[in-house]
């Protein structure tokens, strides 16, 4: 096939693509799970799914909007948090500053993630032009990137103008066609036509820069260090390239293979029968390789404690597994513990908890205290007085918060209440993850979780009462298995004489039968 005939074929394909693009660039209403986030110069549309860390961020190829990535996003979101977004001018995203090279688009993606408070480090996934953007992002912000998966990235020496120059001429023609469509409607009073013009203005600039500034920026990247990197290449030639299709495909595959070598932890995978749209042709292969990088990052980041994690989700999940398994922890709805405090009287104190926010504390013959986080109230009974029925007594809010803290000592409240990750710290020679939990009345409890065993090590809270702030801290000691749950048999605490004392947990029972009446607060006492 002569170059002129190849040019005609590509022209027809480009015109067909333009018709399809026109239909897709109209700004329709966004799904409820989408967000529109201002990054200062303009606003960008993003779609979030799933939970967990690390967050996977996916960037599509030229002309493709985030909806096209939805099946892949849903598959990966079964395991972790995933974000797709529309670059400037795509979908509900507003047009952005020109020119649209990868350096600018990487900066805008960083601003989007920061404004949307999406913590890193990220696993980046890019298809085609998106793969160039992600390489630039990883080079500019290496501390924010934990791994990368590149789907059929454009061959570098081609976009640099060094190889297959005839095809480069055709690419220039396609850019000119898109620019012409943008220019023809730029002054239209019709909003749909203006959206069309903005969209083609953006993609024309992206395509032009892909063979200019973007190519030079990517070429300047010498290494990705030891970052987990997977490069997936399509094996199926594009028949539009005529006689050179197979030769060009072999060349493209070679370029992708060389790209994988830019990381000492790089891997190249060839999808033999797949076209350029790998995530449509071999979706499970793509998802599996993304998740393999996610799992590698999780092991490196949280298993080995080399990198500081930025979300509490994984730490909480690992703690649940360490205590006996997520299913068992989830099934615990109540617990009863009999505890002897040596600097108090010798009789045991009975603590009864119903998740998430009911606790009843009783010292037989002396008092019963009930806290209900839903009502924000505390009652104290005094049955010790002879010939008198227990009388409800409202306690001040400060005292109520004091009894609220009993929730945190006996069961990890990060399983039930909002939790923030506060980094890795060292406690008496042990590396620990710090989790900060906010309880219903505003009490903030700090848990230190052993970074190796993922068992709770210490629990601390600052409690203010009558103008004075008291720092209270307890350490879980001597773990034993109780009904299949790993639980401490002793607990250190600050004694009344100011010295550390050790409480003995004499008996623990999970899911005992606790009637509603045991936690009932009479309406008159609220």
pLDDT, tens only, 256-279: 999 999 999 999 999 999 999 999
Give the span between the Cα atoms of 231 and 220, in whole angstroms: 18
Element housing 47 (H / E) = strand 43-49
Mean pLDDT, the chain, whole residue set: 84
User: What pairing do the DSSP bridges indicate for beta strands 334-340 and 349-354?
Assistant: antiparallel
Q: Cβ distance 275 to 236 under 8 Å?
A: yes
pLDDT band at 402 (very low <50, low <70, confident <90, very high): low
Position 261 scores a pLDDT of 96
Q: CB atoms < 10 A from the CB of 506, how many?
A: 12
**Contacts (Cβ under 8 Å, ≥6 apart) of 295:** none
pLDDT, tens only, 333-359: 999 999 998 877 668 899 999 888 888
Q: Cβ distance 445 to 425 under 8 Å?
A: no
pLDDT, tens only, 446-457: 999 998 899 999
Alpha carbon of residue 117 to chain centroid: 10
Position 317 scores a pLDDT of 83
Radius of gyration of the chain (CA): 30
What DSSP state is assigned to residue 94?
P
pLDDT band at 8 (very low <50, low <70, confident <90, very high): very low
Position 308 scores a pLDDT of 38
Least confident of 9-23, 171-185, 200-214, 420-434: 9-23
What DSSP state is assigned to residue 415?
G
Structure token digits, residue 296 = 């590698």
pLDDT, tens only, 166-204: 888 888 999 999 999 999 988 888 888 888 899 999 999
Region 75-98: mean pLDDT is 95
pLDDT, tens only, 470-525: 778 999 999 999 999 999 999 998 877 778 889 999 999 999 998 878 887 655 44
pTM comes to 0.60
Position 44 scores a pLDDT of 97
175-179, Cβ contacts within 8 angstroms, sequence gap of 24 or more: 175/204, 175/207, 175/208, 175/211, 177/11, 177/14, 177/15, 177/18, 178/18, 178/203, 178/204, 178/207, 179/204, 179/208
Position 17 scores a pLDDT of 45
Tokens 């002569």 belong to which residue?
A: 2
Region 139-146: mean pLDDT is 93
Q: CB atoms < 10 A from the CB of 488, how many?
A: 22
The strand ranges marked E within 364-499 are: 367-372, 377-381, 419-427, 430-438, 444-450, 456-465, 468-482, 485-494
Position 135 scores a pLDDT of 98
């Amino acid at each position: 096939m002569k170059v002129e005939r190849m040019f005609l074929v590509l022209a027809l394909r480009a015109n067909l693509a333009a018709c399809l693009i026109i239909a897709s660039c109209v700004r329709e209403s966004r799904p409820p799970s989408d967000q529109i986030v201002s990054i200062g110069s303009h606003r960008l549309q993003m779609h979030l799914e799933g939970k967990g860390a690390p967050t996977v961020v996916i960037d599509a190829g030229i002309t493709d909007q985030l909806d096209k990535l939805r099946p892949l996003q849903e598959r990966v979101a079964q395991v972790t948090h995933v974000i797709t977004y529309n670059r400037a001018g795509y979908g509900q995203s507003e047009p952005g500053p020109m020119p649209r090279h990868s350096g600018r688009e990487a900066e805008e993606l960083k601003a989007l993630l920061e404004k949307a408070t999406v913590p890193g480090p990220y696993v980046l996934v890019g298809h085609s032009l998106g793969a160039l953007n992600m390489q630039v992002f990883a080079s500019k912000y290496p501390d924010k990137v934990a791994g990368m998966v590149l789907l059929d990235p454009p061959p570098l020496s081609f976009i640099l103008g060094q190889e297959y120059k005839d095809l480069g001429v055709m690419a220039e023609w396609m850019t000119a066609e898109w620019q012409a469509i943008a220019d023809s409607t730029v002054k239209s009073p019709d909003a749909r036509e203006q959206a069309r013009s903005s969209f083609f203005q953006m993609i024309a600039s992206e395509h032009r820069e892909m063979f200019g500034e973007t190519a030079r920026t990517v070429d300047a990247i010498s290494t990705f260090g030891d970052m987990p990197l997977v490069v997936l290449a399509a094996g199926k030639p594009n028949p539009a390239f005529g006689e050179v299709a197979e030769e060009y495909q072999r060349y493209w595959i070679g370029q992708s293979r060389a790209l994988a070598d830019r990381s000492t932890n790089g891997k190249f995978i060839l999808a033999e029968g797949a076209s350029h749209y790998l995530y449509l042709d071999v979706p499970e292969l793509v998802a599996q390789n993304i998740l393999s990088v996610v799992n590698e990052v999780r092991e490196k980041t949280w298993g080995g404690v080399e990198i500081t994690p930025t979300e509490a989700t994984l730490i909480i999940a690992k703690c649940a597994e360490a205590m006996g398994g997520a299913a068992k922890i989830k099934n615990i709805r109540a617990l009863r513990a009999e505890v002897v405090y040596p600097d108090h009287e010798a009789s045991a104190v009975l603590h009864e908890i119903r998740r998430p926010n009911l606790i009843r504390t009783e010292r037989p013959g002396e008092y019963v205290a009930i806290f209900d986080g839903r009502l924000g109230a505390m009652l104290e009974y005094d049955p010790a007085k002879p010939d008198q029925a227990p009388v409800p007594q409202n306690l001040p809010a400060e005292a109520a918060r004091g009894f609220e803290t009993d929730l945190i000592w006996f069961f990890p409240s990060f399983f039930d209440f909002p939790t923030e990750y506060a980094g890795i710290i060292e406690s008496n020679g042990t590396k620990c993850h710090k989790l900060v939990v906010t309880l219903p009345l505003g009490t903030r409890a700090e848990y230190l979780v052993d970074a190796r065993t993922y068992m709770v090590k210490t629990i601390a809270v600052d409690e203010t009462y009558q103008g004075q702030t008291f720092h209270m801290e307890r350490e879980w000691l001597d773990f034993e298995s109780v009904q299949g749950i790993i639980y401490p048999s002793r607990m250190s605490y600050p004694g009344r004489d100011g010295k550390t004392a050790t409480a003995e947990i004499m008996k623990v029972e999970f899911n005992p039968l606790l009637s509603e009446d045991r936690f009932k607060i009479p309406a008159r006492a609220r």
